[in-house]
Amino acid sequence: MPSLTRDEARQRAQLITVDRMEVDLDLDRGAEQFGSTARIRFSCNAPGETTFLDLRPVSVESVVLNGAPLDVGSVHGGRVALRDLRAENTVEVTATMTYSRDGQGLHRSTDPADGEDYVYGHLFLDAAPTVFACFDQPDLKAPYAVSVRAPQEWVVLGNGRATRTGPGEWELSETLPLATYFVTVCAGPWVSVHDEHDGIPLGIHARRSLRADLERHAPQMLEVTKQSFDHFHRTFDVRYAFGDYDQVFVPEFNAGAMENPGCVTFRDPMLFRGAATREQVLQRSNTIAHEMAHMWFGDLVTMRWWDDLWLNESFAEFMAYTATSAATEFTDSWVEFGIARKQWGYAAERAPSTHPVAGSPAPDAQSALENFDGISYAKGASVLRQLIAHIGEEAFNTGVTAYLRSHEHGNGELSEFLEAMEATHGASLADWSRAWLETAGVDVIALDRDGTLTRTVPEAHPADRTHALDVAGFTGGAETFRTPVTLDAPQVRLDAVPDSAVLLPNAGDLTWAVVDLDAASLAALPAELSRIPDTTARSVLWGAVLTGVFRASVDPKVALDVFTAAWPLESHDALMSRVATAFNDRILPTFLAEDDVEAAEERLAGAALMAFQGATPGSDRALVAARVLAAATTDEDRLSAWVDGRSLPEGLEGDSDFRWLVVQTMARLGLADDTLIAGVEADDTTLSGHLAGLTARAARPEASDKEWAWAEITENRERSNYELNALATGFWSSGSIETLRPYAARYVTDIPRLAQWLGADAHDRVASLAFPSRVVEPGTVELVRTAMAGPRLTAGVRRAMGDELSKLEEALTSRSRWAG
């Protein structure tokens, strides 16, 4: 079906205004389909003209425009033509819709723990027409009045306050104007924790089988919710506008969370059922703050079209980390941002799909989905930090408030945001915007021993970006100097640079730039890195090592030397976790020559064992080290004892997720037969256990295991989005190159066919996870490039293939440069 184009959206918005939406949903028709009736009041400023509704039904029972029935056969390509419009119009559409299993539209899931069903609406990006007839574009906002019929034992939640009006009958209070993609209904036998803060009713909800986890985590989540509300009210000076504030943890959710006004949805693995490190709780807390920030940036003021999605995501990213660092216990949250989010963004900048923060071309709605990446999130947030350095925090906050108040309940775009900022700054921001927001690419900065700080601009995306940053030096566990610098030229000479073992530009991680370390600093890291007292500086250094490997400027064997020397002594759990993941999941299996991998894996496992033995039992460091050790070790006795519940690390007794991590390692090593996996599945009948079992089965290295897993991914249309992800995650984690090589060719033929039954968001994710990343050979490059040049791929799958291919090519380039 055609995706709405920007030109079509602009023409429709110029013609009509949507005044009110009434939606009636019947969720009591069984597990496959539901009933949908939408009554839409809209005005037309050119009577007699024609427009169209968006609708993707199973069947249409009736379409009535201004009292006159239309031919129900007039639905073509997901659109219903509405002709001869009046100045004031009402259209009513009654249709039958189908539940999804791919996380889009109205998703229905069965909890294997107790057999209960749950439904939630995820209408992002253009899935609203699969739930109700509408004018599906972000600038045709309208109030919604929603009623729901559901099984009598279910609880219904949504954007407005839900009231039970009879057995199985619910009404949601009419909302303020919403974009279609923000509308949600969540229905099922939810369990709930309620509270109130500053006059705002609060609710946190989850599946019935997660009651104990919900009740254990709710106090911390409610605390962060309250702290975030207070912070945003102070910062924006604009009150939260959407009534109740419900947060619903839903199964099989494609994203991390979704900012539906008044009813935020989260992926429910965030209700950690086992031990959780401080970093994991920080990530969840940051997600809570991120989605709340959207209540202002995205919900109160919505982008006019998808090419300004940065006005949603960059601001929510920046505001969330600002809130967690300033208003919660997580005062060091920018450290996690640097090692996790910025590394994601730098990877996106290296990919061929790199794009500007703002104004990225989005000729149609589906193409916009491709730009929800580390650039729109992490780079955008970093750029906003640079904007504050440029105009000052007071001018920035004043401009934000003015922008929100002047556009509330409406739509905005880049030019209007810049106008608000220029009014408070008192000068034009056009040059700044062109350099930072409207030009792709990341600068490389380096500090020489003679005190010369250089800025290298990417040739493909030249821009004159001024960086506000600092440089620092470290020797023997002490900071030798720190100097603020404005880098506004290709080279800046510092007055004095004291002799230091490690020289570090951007030591405070204040700007968006890749750091190249000088040779002496890199050589000093094995001895110096773990002794540096500044956690942010260590984050920048670890990031420089990782990006250096990916850019082929650092030998992966040298990086492994740094890891084995410094990582076991690292004290920050976010740095431990993220760096180990990069080495274990990518650097060792793809950047090293095949003959070097086994020895490198032994060194990584040795570092994990050293960290584990040196950590305080039960501490975050011990937990991270135990997980890394469980994923990396080949010690069959240790693995067998842990899977049997013997000699477990403190705090991991009865931890099902840790047990599955051990099982998956045993599976990769060929040590997990059907009996072992089935036994662990019998002990863990939850959705998480089911998915972990699929990953373990796909992770086994034998040819028959790979054949089964690939068939499940590419042929079983009953598999949900999460099941496909679990299978794809396990598939490439083991197996000889001879076993895996044929699947590179099968990937380019089989994965595109999933578009026949899988939604775009889920399909794109599977295309990334199922990519033949372990077949690091020129033949894989040729296969994928040929497929990308053909006509069979959706835009999202082509983007996913291209981005994953760029990672494989990075590994090939590194192997070529550092061979021998």
Q: Catalytic residue numbers? A: 291
Q: With H, G, I as helix, E, B as strand and everything else as coil, classify residue 785.
A: helix
CA distance 367 to 5: 9
Q: In one letter, which amino acid is 178?
A: L
Q: In one letter, which amino acid is 327?
A: A
CA distance 348 to 345: 5
CA distance 206 to 103: 17
User: Rounded to the nearest 10 degrees, what angle do helices 342-350 and 535-550 cross at?
Assistant: 20
CA distance 322 to 320: 5
Nearest one of 429, 133, 179 to 304, comparing CA atoms: 179
**How far does CA 358 lie from the centroid of its chain?**
18
Q: Token pair for residue 506?
A: 């951007």
The number of residues making up the chain comes to 820
Name, in order, each residue with C-beta under 8 angstroms of 180's C-beta and a sequence gap of 6 or more: 123, 128, 134, 135, 136, 137, 138, 140
Partners of residue 265 on adjacent β-strands: 248, 258
CA distance 406 to 417: 10
DSSP summary character for residue 410: E
Q: In one letter, which amino acid is 414?
A: L
Q: With H, G, I as helix, E, B as strand and everything else as coil, classify residue 173.
A: coil
Name, in order, each residue with C-beta under 8 angstroms of 738's C-beta and a sequence gap of 6 or more: none
Label residue 14 exposed, middle or buried (CB < 10 Å: 0-12, 13-18, 19+).
Answer: exposed
Label residue 595 exposed, middle or buried (CB < 10 Å: 0-12, 13-18, 19+).
Answer: exposed
Query: Taking a C-beta distance cutoff of 8 angstroms, is the pair 309, 371 a contact?
Result: yes
What does the buried/exposed string (b/e) look like for 185-209 if buried means 16 or more CB atoms within 10 Å of the residue's CB? bbbbbbbebebeeeebebbbbbbeb
Nearest one of 47, 30, 241, 53 to 143, comparing CA atoms: 241
Sheet holding 59-65, edge to edge: 68-70, 59-65, 88-98, 33-44, 16-26, 144-149, 169-172, 162-166
The DSSP secondary structure of 690-725, one letter per residue, reads HHHHHHHHHH--SHHHHHHHHHHHHH-TT--HHHHH
- Containing 311, the helix (H) or strand (E) segment is helix 310-327
The DSSP secondary structure of 531-580, one letter per residue, reads G---HHHHHHHHHHHHHHHHTTSS-HHHHHHHHHHHGGG---HHHHHHHH
**How far does CA 594 lie from the centroid of its chain?**
32
